[in-house]
């Protein structure tokens, strides 16, 4: 007990000297075992602190970045944003400050059909979630995927959304489609729909002079649609102006 009390009364310098004296009499293996056993709680605390600091910095950096455009490129084999050349070229033209801004390209959505029904429910659920959260600004997809979602009222009327001069520039590339709307007689058990008048909801972009054909997007035509929940219409317009100068 006295020995323990004496050690508690030691100064930090005296404790450090005592530890060094112990280590001098040990082999390398004994030193490593002693350091690990004796200082394990402190080392674990340091590791945890480093993890928390790194995690905190990451969260802080992400919170500082403002989304300027969130684009989903569907049914692509690309695995990283840099693989989509024409979007990266547009990103470069924006001169984005990556410390405070970000342009997201979501490559995870693979949506396919069997006799008109979606077979990839997880991807469809994610897409619906992004739309519901008002996070998605642009959808780039095959024509059959576009037609499925445009009928369900996902996309904006391009004539009403784009500036008149830009719409006139791209008018030959637009897709005219009808949106279905539930009738007054529709019920949960027996839904009934009527088709509204056709309007321009989609834009074919693979005939743009600045579109870069690539094997990661293996379909044609490539159709762009603007979700009704888009929060960055100004950047969407810039993107279309970039593709159709």
Query: What would the pLDDT profile of 65-93 be if each residue is shown by its tens digit?
Result: 788 889 999 999 888 877 788 888 888 88
The predicted model gives 6-34 an average pLDDT of 60
Sequence ranges of the chain with CATH classification 3.40.190: 66-243
Q: pLDDT higher for 220 or 24?
A: 220
What pLDDT score was predicted for residue 132? 83
What pLDDT score was predicted for residue 170? 94
Cβ pair 163, 244 in contact under 8 A: no
The predicted model gives 8-32 an average pLDDT of 61
pLDDT in tens, 106-158: 888 888 877 556 667 788 888 888 888 888 999 999 999 999 889 888 899 99
pLDDT in tens, 155-210: 999 999 999 999 999 999 999 987 767 666 666 666 666 666 889 999 999 989 88
Best-predicted range by mean pLDDT among 35-39, 102-106, 169-173?
169-173
- The answer regarding whether domain 66-243 maps to CATH 3.40.190 reads yes
What pLDDT score was predicted for residue 161? 95
What pLDDT score was predicted for residue 1? 47
The predicted model gives 49-76 an average pLDDT of 68
What pLDDT score was predicted for residue 98? 72
Does the pLDDT of residue 44 top 90, yes or no? no
Does the pLDDT of residue 50 top 60, yes or no? no
Out of 31-35, 72-76, 218-222, least confident range: 31-35
What pLDDT score was predicted for residue 57? 46
What pLDDT score was predicted for residue 113? 77
Q: pLDDT higher for 31 or 177?
A: 177
């Amino acid at each position: 007990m006295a020995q323990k009390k004496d050690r508690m009364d030691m100064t930090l310098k005296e404790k450090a000297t005592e530890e060094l004296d112990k280590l001098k009499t040990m082999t390398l293996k004994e030193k490593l075992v002693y350091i690990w056993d004796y200082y394990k709680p402190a080392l674990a605390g340091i590791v945890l602190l480093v993890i928390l600091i790194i995690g905190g910095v990451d969260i802080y950096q992400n919170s500082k970045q403002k989304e300027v455009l969130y684009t989903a490129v569907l049914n692509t084999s690309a695995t990283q944003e840099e693989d989509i050349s024409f979007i990266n070229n547009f990103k470069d033209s924006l001169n984005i400050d990556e410390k405070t801004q970000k342009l997201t390209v979501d490559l995870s959505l693979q949506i396919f059909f069997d006799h008109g029904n979606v077979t990839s429910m997880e991807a469809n659920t994610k897409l619906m979630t992004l739309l519901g959260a008002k996070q998605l600004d642009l959808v780039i997809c095959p024509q059959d995927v576009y037609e499925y979602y445009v009928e369900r009222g996902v996309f904006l009327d391009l004539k009403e959304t784009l500036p008149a001069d830009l719409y006139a520039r791209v008018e030959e590339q637009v897709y005219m489609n009808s949106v279905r709307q539930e009738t007054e007689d529709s019920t949960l058990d027996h839904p009934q729909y009527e088709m509204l008048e056709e309007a321009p909801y989609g834009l074919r972009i693979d005939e743009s002079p600045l579109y870069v054909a690539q094997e990661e997007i293996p379909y044609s035509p490539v159709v762009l649609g603007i979700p009704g929940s888009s929060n960055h219409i100004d950047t969407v317009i810039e993107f279309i102006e970039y593709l159709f100068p």
